[in-house]
Amino acid sequence: MDPKIASKWMEDAFALATEARGTTLPNPAVGCIVLDKAGKPVAKAATSKDGRPHAERKALDLAGSKASGGTLVVTLEPCVAFPGKKSPPCAAAAILSGIETVIVGTSDPNPHVAGRGIHALRKAGMKVVECPLEDRVPDFYAGFGRFLATGTPRVTVKIAVSSDGNVAAKPGQRTAITGAESRRFVHSLRSRSDAILVGGRTVLVDDPKLTVRDVAGRSPHRLVLWPSAGLPDTAQIWTNSARTTAFGIQERPAKLPSSVDWVRLPADGDHVDLAALVAWCGKQGMHDLLVEPGPTLLQSILAKEIWDDLWVLRSDAPLAGGVPADPRHLLPKETPQASRTLGPDQGRFWRQPNRLIPIPPLS
Ligand SMILES: NC(=O)c1ccc[n+]([C@@H]2O[C@H](COP(=O)([O-])OP(=O)(O)OC[C@H]3O[C@@H](n4cnc5c(N)ncnc54)[C@H](OP(=O)(O)O)[C@@H]3O)[C@@H](O)[C@H]2O)c1
């Protein structure tokens, strides 16, 4: 198949996976499309709620005999049998369906699968083509690998700063720092996350919605650290556009709207123990936690090294006399591992060494 056509179908399968993100935990969200012999789509599916049946099984069942001689487009390597596995293996289902070509977004970070699905397909005479959409598909599943290895999610931190390192013009003042392309990028980080965490003062000052709006995808579960000053019941994160959970070291505050879950966590000094919060996310089966901190939460995270990936989005304009993002100078001093131009802004990326499980290459 022409690589451009393969990429187009993978984009569609990836959109199905992104839309299902967060509903399939602890299983990963997978998107799948079956094309018939003539290249016409005959079935589309994503992993079911709570993880089963798998996307490939659903799409192949829907396609029936039309799959014969056709193509399976799937974001994650089809699974194989292994001890304790609850679902029937999808690689075997693909082989039995008469599919001839499989376009795969990435291999499976699950060490029980990790290339064995691809190997089984190739051994059965099927053509397997990799289509990672730059690195977006492997990145979508990288947190799943960390979750399987440690029981906790990948923690990605994003902070936007002015060219002179500030996050707001004045304390308590909502300030737009970066532009439209950075915002779209942040929304794409949200769409590949199961939950998004903010400090309570960000809610007081910015009153954010914390939803996915500028790109396609589901809004993640919103998590907020309850501040000592409390939060108004008019805050936008209480709206029902996504689920919200608030965390504190005390009993449930009387002011908290009844639709919002409350979780009391152990203390670390005067505040919630952030390691306990990340462990709680792991217990919910979450693979990816995005943190959008203000300076206070950022300093806590950097001091305790509770992060795996870090994005600093720097605008080209200064905010003289503003609120510094990093008063304790805890941001990494090393050269960033990657950078990205986002309109007038520059994104810089760091990854903690040896924390994420590398996804094995397909071939
Ligand atoms: N540029 C950006 O990317 C960006 C992103 C978000 C926010 N902001 C800006 O940052 C400012 C708000 O930041 P902020 O530093 O004042 O507050 P923050 O980091 O948003 O929230 C910190 C609050 O969360 C509570 N908290 C509970 N557990 C905590 C823990 N383990 N570690 C840290 N905090 C914990 C604390 O409440 P108590 O101390 O009251 O108990 C603390 O006041 C606003 O101006 C906002 O516009 C900028």
Q: What is the pLDDT of residue 266?
A: 96
If you take atom 10 of ligand 1, which residue's CA is the nearest one?
294
* Domain match, 167 and 64 both: no
Q: What is the pLDDT of residue 226?
A: 96
Q: How many domains does the chain have?
A: 2
Domain assignment present for residue 359? The answer is no
Residue 221: pLDDT over 90: yes
Residue 161's pLDDT band, with cuts at 50, 70 and 90, is very high
Where a domain ends, among 70, 98, 133? 133
C-alpha pair distances (Å), 207 with each of 104, 193, 195, 238, 349? 40, 20, 17, 10, 27
| CATH code for position 121 | 3.40.140.10
Q: What is the pLDDT of residue 363?
A: 61
Q: How far is the CA of 293 from the centre of ligand 1 (A)?
A: 6
* Domain match, 37 and 151 both: no
Residue 249 Cβ inside 6 Å of ligand 1? The answer reads: no
Residue 89 Cβ inside 6 Å of ligand 1? The answer reads: no
Average model confidence (pLDDT) across the chain: 93
**Tokens 């462990």 sit at which residue?**
279
* Domain match, 22 and 96 both: yes
Domain assignment present for residue 193? The answer is yes
Q: What does the pLDDT look like over 8-33, one tens digit per residue?
A: 999 999 999 999 999 999 999 999 99
Q: How far is the CA of 327 from the centre of ligand 1 (A)?
A: 13
Q: What is the pLDDT of residue 82?
A: 74
* Domain match, 120 and 222 both: no
Residue 346's pLDDT band, with cuts at 50, 70 and 90, is very high
Q: Catalytic amino acids?
A: 56
Q: What does the pLDDT look like over 165-212, one tens digit per residue?
A: 999 999 989 999 999 999 999 999 999 999 999 999 999 999 999 999
Where a domain ends, among 133, 168, 200? 133
155, 173, 225: residue to mutate for ligand 1 pocket, most atoms within 8 A of CB: 225
* Domain match, 19 and 165 both: no
Cβ count near 165 (within 10 Å)? 19
* Domain match, 54 and 164 both: no
Residue 301 Cβ inside 6 Å of ligand 1? The answer reads: no
Domain assignment present for residue 357? The answer is no
Domain assignment present for residue 337? The answer is yes
C-alpha pair distances (Å), 212 with each of 185, 186, 187? 11, 9, 5
| CATH code for position 264 | 3.40.430.10
* Domain match, 113 and 179 both: no
Q: What is the pLDDT of residue 362?
A: 67
* Domain match, 124 and 151 both: no
If you take atom 6 of ligand 1, which residue's CA is the nearest one?
294
* Domain match, 120 and 180 both: no
Crossing angle for the helix pair 90-97 and 116-123, nearest 10 degrees?
20
Q: What does the pLDDT look like over 83-137, one tens digit per residue?
A: 777 767 888 899 999 999 999 999 999 888 888 999 999 999 999 999 999 999 9
Residue 205 Cβ inside 6 Å of ligand 1? The answer reads: yes
Dihedral of the alpha carbons of 293, 299, 304, 307, in degrees to the nearest 10: 40
Q: How far is the CA of 276 from the centre of ligand 1 (A)?
A: 18
Which domain, by its residues, includes 164? 145-351
Residue 167 Cβ inside 6 Å of ligand 1? The answer reads: yes
Query: Long-range CB contacts (< 8 A, 24+ apart) of 203-208?
Result: 203/227, 203/231, 203/235, 203/237, 204/229, 204/231, 204/232, 205/168, 205/172, 205/173, 205/174, 205/294, 206/174, 207/174, 207/235, 207/236, 208/236, 208/237, 208/292
C-alpha pair distances (Å), 306 with each of 198, 220, 299? 14, 20, 10
Q: How far is the CA of 53 from the centre of ligand 1 (A)?
A: 40
pTM as predicted? 0.94
What percent of the chain has a predicted confidence (pLDDT) above 70? 98
* Domain match, 206 and 239 both: yes
